[in-house]
Structure 1
Amino acid sequence: MCGISGLIGHEDFELLLCAMVESQAHRGPDAEGVFYDKNFAALGHNRLSIIDLSPKSNQPFTDHSKRYYIVFNGEIYNYLELKASLRHDYNFITQSDTEVLLALYIKYGVSCLGKLNGMFSFAIWDTKKKKLFAARDRFGVKPFYYSKSQNRFVFSSEIKAIHKSGIKKTPNQDLWRRYFAFGSYGLPNETFWEGVCQLPAGHFLELNEGNLNITQWYDFASQVIKQPLVKNYTEAKEQYHDLLFDSVKLRFRADVPVGFNVSGGLDSSTLLALVNQSQVNSTKIEAFTFYTNDKRYDELSWVEQMISHYSNPLHKVLLKAIEVPELSKLISSFQDEPFGGIPTLAYSKVFKTARNKGVKVLLDGQGMDEQLAGYDYYTTNTKSTIQGVTKSPFNPKILSEDTSDGMGKDQYPSPFEDSLLNLQYRDLIYTKIPRALRFNDRVSMAYSTELREPFLDYRLVEFGCSLPIEFKIKDQQNKRILREVMTKYIPQSISYAPKRPLQTPQREWLEKELKQFVEEQIDKIKYSNYAHWFNLNEIDNTWSLYLKGDNDSSFHIWQLVNFSLLLN
């Protein structure tokens, strides 16, 4: 897991590239590298050493001919198998997955992407053809941002690096208003800043003589449709069981310590059990969880119950309300865009603790709800994108009439005949997974720690989504097949416990302990250059009602805080 950056054009990019690399130092503190193809291209890299820790694997990395240079962020989990398949085609000099990826591209070109099981964003510069090729993994675990002008193309792992290249930091009003009105975090190619785009997940780009072409290489819907229909439930459980174990096993490939995050739910319990069932000396693998000392929300008792069945060291990370103001400012500077709220802050402390304990890689249970219909609204047939709320968490009335004029909701494709599968598709490709991956990438990288999501292994997701509805939901119980597969590994009191959507006392803290902090952020908006975007009287009214108890949801308050923090 690293940071990549680059500039393409007929200029001297040395100073700009250095500024971009420096801005992403947190993503890779183990080594920095640059490559210049004078007056054509400049590539930069910040390395977090995970596989093959030797300097020979530093980047930018080149092949034997020195024609191709690659900067790569992520991990190719099946790199050993791919390396074996290339043994007659390439003379490897490192033990890294970076060299395997470059060798694979040299042999197969674009079609190499379909052979990769991993999380990745990378760029390859062809010094002979003066051509850039870049790609992003199937679900967009790893970020890739870019900006193109008439004479220059810039790319990086984080938006702040794009702004360091000279692109003015101007809020994208269209997306911000959709955020406030509908909770949108943007379509796959959008960002909250003008002039900055992102390469959508499952896409690659080619830049040749200033011409930019973007192509989709992974179509999730078509892959699900192509899956052989498994009608036998026993057979489906066996296949799902094997995929679960293999997905976790692959993600333990590392030359540094690996740990895992755990909460009190089924997905974390599954991860805990799989780690301990599949790894030698598993009891030495460290687990991490957060809590807030509020029994209404904390899952610590559930976590301790789960851990008691094994012997993993458990690190309990406490978030206090008094920490939130400064931590919000810090994490906002790493996120570059709005993030989910206080749970994200608590999660960030987990990565800080792991790094301080010498654990550079953590596993997480992200992705299971989307593939097996785990959210409440999957069974209630609502159009919601938020788990566990009874009324809209958004308040579009805080926008001025001029700002909200002509505004419409994001529209998502419905490629399947089945409505439930279309909801899963929306959450995987457009809403829940993209934003969660962005939140999580930034908080892990803020503390130079790699996060891996075994349940987002594309084989597992495709298979899970392709299963008949009755394999996923039975008697209003979500994730049926997972619960039954894991019955022999975890207690039924956990495997059949209901999903708990809230993990922190965000609603209460914003109203009480953080009241002054919230009001400071609201005042900042009122005196900003963007005050005219808002109906300021309605903001005051909304806050007043919240303090009087209208706090079923706190998201509309956190939105204001988020916006204010990002105005710096």
Structure 2
Amino acid sequence: MCGFVGFVDEERGYDRLSVLQAMAAAIAHRGPDAEGLFDDGRCALGFRRLAIIDLEGANQPLLNEDGSLVLVFNGEIYNYRELRRRLTAAGHVFSTEGDGEVLVHGWEQWGPKLLDQLRGMFAFALYNRATGELFCARDAFGIKPLYYTAEGRRLLFGSEIKGLLPHPRFQRRLNEGRLATYLCMEYQPDDETLFEGVRKLPAGHWMRWRDGVLERQRWFFPRFTDAGKAPRGSLDRNAALIADTLRDSVATHAVADVEVGCFLSAGVDSSLVAHEAARIMDARTFTVGWGEEAYSELAAAADFAKATGLRNRQRVIDDRTFFASVPAVQYAMDEPLPNPSAVPLYHLCHMAAEDVKVVMSGEGADELFGGYPYYQECLAFEPYGAVPAPLRRAAARAASHLPEGTHGRRYLMRGAEPFARRYLRWEYNFTFAEANELLHPDLGGTSSADAQASTPLPPWALGRDLVGEVLGGAPDEVTAMQTLDILLWMQQDILLKADKMSMAASLELRVPFLDREMFAIASRLPTGQRVSRRETKVALRAAAARTLPPRTAAMPKKGFLTPLASWLKRDRWAAELREVFHSETARRYFDVARLDQLLADHQAGRARNMKKLWACYCFLLWHDQYFR
């Protein structure tokens, strides 16, 4: 696990090596063990290493035999030994024992088709010194990030946005037209960021840069091949297949020349990973929680660890610790991310990094195997969906006049909405109208996704093409929702948070569920073995029931809950937010009176505004670290 930065630029008006060193230093937390630099006057590559495999060798940048190809790579290739044997048989000569070198020789052998053969998490940049071409790629699910910005014949790129900032030609500007989208969704659903001109290479994509021309192409799309409701293998058979495949995936992900630990919550996903890890090593596990028992999983995690013989280290986070670390969390994220679970994850990673260099975690199981309760809503709405749309809209209008909490009100209203508005997180936080009312009237930014528009595009307009593509290829709404969550929520929130929080602690985080063999199983499960009206993750829970305690296998989805909503009602923390809400930055971007009202309503119990308040607070803390 590492980080890299680089630029393609033939300008001579600055000290290239000093700039490259400064860019690499900005991401030193991703790789505190070693630094590597390369510059041929056209392409400069900087690398920071966290040594995991081949500790003494495998430093980067890596070159092929004749020095014509130069690689920087972040991630792990879990099938590198198999690929190395094939490439050696084909005549390639290796100079290290690390996994990254298979990318160099694999490119020589297969070109872009190399990507289809990789089992791992990765973002890499491969430079051809003879042609001047730079080829970059990102793994299928977006476990590892890659950012870039292009202007004229200059390209800057790297593992984190903060690695681009030291370049003297980088223009640091806020992408104001995307603030409404951030307030609605908590992230950008496409390749844009809140830094004007900085883009994310999407998961499952590669890009090629040559002579100032950028080409970008998708190489992987997460398609579920299930034939709707048709049975495909018995539940017992598929549960056994999941159990066997996960066992292999965990064993593959455990390969390292350093100690590997596991995160452990009370849920089925991390418990399965930790249990499988315990079969092959004396696995340490790590858990964080709260003093408020209603939110904490400490006791359940301790019980599971005791029952299965796992070592478990725990840490309690209180409100002071939580709030004190928020600025560091937002800085580490590169872009503001107001998911409160980022804060405990930050502390969990730092605790684990005191003992190990690598951890395994359960991310991805919910998206692949159908773990979110709102997937069940798709099934509940099926009968209502057969009612003609005009009648449903009329019922929704009538229901909207009923008091909140009235039985059936939510069902009638949500069931009348089209799929994209009903299930996607387009207005997960603020509605688009609320966001525009909250933003300062003088802001008037224009989204670069539609430069001719006088107002920012609503988030659902940004994702219209993607939704159409997914719905066109999905057999049902459950499958469409899973696919879109893999492409959006998981990539832009879950995995981004996991990468940035772990790397802030110089810790490698591996995710055995997000393995190509695991997805091959999940993608072929019939819908009913993913989600039923009674249960989520049906087949995965059946697999868990074969080895885990019954209470753990049946544990409902809880998420990484925090007591933040209740803390924000306390005068101490409300005053903290109020001070930030009255800052110069807040007055520049928001209607401060509306911020005050949101906070007052939350404190008085008139509304549950935690998510809205936290989105604004996190943006303001992030902004002042990057733009003041």
TM-score by length of structure 1 reads 0.93
Comparing 460-469 with 94-103, greater Cα deviation is found at 460-469
Secondary structure of the residue that 2:223 maps to in structure 1? helix
Superposition map of 1:488-499 within 5 A? 488-499=546-557
Q: Which residue of 1 aligns with 2:438?
A: 398
Secondary structure of the residue that 2:565 maps to in structure 1? helix
Q: Which residue of 1 aligns with 2:581?
A: 522
Task: Give the superposed CA RMSD.
Answer: 2.2
Q: Which residue of 1 aligns with 2:198?
A: 196
- Mapped partners of 1:216, 1:49: distance in 2: 30
Q: Which residue of 2 aligns with 1:257?
A: 259
Secondary structure of the residue that 2:152 maps to in structure 1? coil
Q: Which residue of 2 aligns with 1:434?
A: 492
- Mapped partners of 1:159, 1:255: distance in 2: 30
Superposition map of 1:9-20 within 5 A? 9-12=9-12, 13-20=16-23
* 1:28 corresponds to 2:31: yes
Match of 2:522 among 464, 467, 484: 464
Letter in 1 for 2:232: V
* 1:377 corresponds to 2:380: no
* 1:80 corresponds to 2:81: yes
Cα 1:250–1:340 change in 2 (3 A) is farther
- Mapped partners of 1:508, 1:191: distance in 2: 31
Cα 1:392–1:136 change in 2 (3 A) is closer
Cα 1:229–1:57 change in 2 (3 A) is farther
In the TM superposition, residue 260 of structure 1 has moved relative to its aligned partner by: 0.5
Name structure 1 gaps, 5 residues minimum. Answer: none
* 1:425 corresponds to 2:483: yes
Say whether the 8 Å CA contact 1:393–1:554 is kept in structure 2: no
* 1:508 corresponds to 2:506: no
- Mapped partners of 1:400, 1:69: distance in 2: 47
Q: Larger RCO: Structure 1 or Structure 2 (Cα < 8 Å, ≥ 6 residues apart)?
A: 2
Q: Which residue of 2 aligns with 1:236?
A: 238
Match of 1:310 among 308, 311, 316: 308
- Mapped partners of 1:225, 1:37: distance in 2: 53
Deviation per residue, 1:428-455 (Å, 9 max, x gap): 0112343111111111001110000111
* 1:366 corresponds to 2:367: no
Secondary structure of the residue that 1:86 maps to in structure 2? helix
Deviation per residue, 1:226-283 (Å, 9 max, x gap): 9x98333333223222211111111001001100001111112212222223x1xx3x
- Mapped partners of 2:543, 2:481: distance in 1: 24
Deviation per residue, 1:123-157 (Å, 9 max, x gap): 01111111111100001111100010013100010
Letter in 2 for 1:72: F
Say whether the 8 Å CA contact 1:162–1:196 is kept in structure 2: no
Match of 1:295 among 293, 296, 315: 293
* 1:534 corresponds to 2:531: no
From the CA coordinates, give the structure whose radius of gyration is larger: 2
TM-score by length of structure 2 reads 0.84
Secondary structure of the residue that 2:370 maps to in structure 1? coil
Equivalenced residues, count? 553
Deviation per residue, 1:31-63 (Å, 9 max, x gap): 00100112x111100000011001x31111111
Q: Percent identity?
A: 29
Superposition map of 1:152-163 within 5 A? 152-163=154-165
Secondary structure of the residue that 1:122 maps to in structure 2? strand
Cα 1:119–1:230 change in 2 (3 A) is same
In the TM superposition, residue 487 of structure 1 has moved relative to its aligned partner by: 1.1
Deviation per residue, 1:173-231 (Å, 9 max, x gap): 22221111x224113411111010111111111111111101111122277789x9833
Q: Which residue of 1 aligns with 2:250?
A: 248
- Mapped partners of 2:574, 2:549: distance in 1: 41
Secondary structure of the residue that 1:566 maps to in structure 2? helix
Superposition map of 1:14-163 within 5 A? 14-38=17-41, 40-54=42-56, 56-88=57-89, 89-163=91-165
Name structure 2 gaps, 5 residues minimum. Answer: 379-413, 415-421, 445-454
Q: Which runs of 4+ in 1 moved over 6 A?
A: 222-226
Q: Which residue of 2 aligns with 1:454?
A: 512
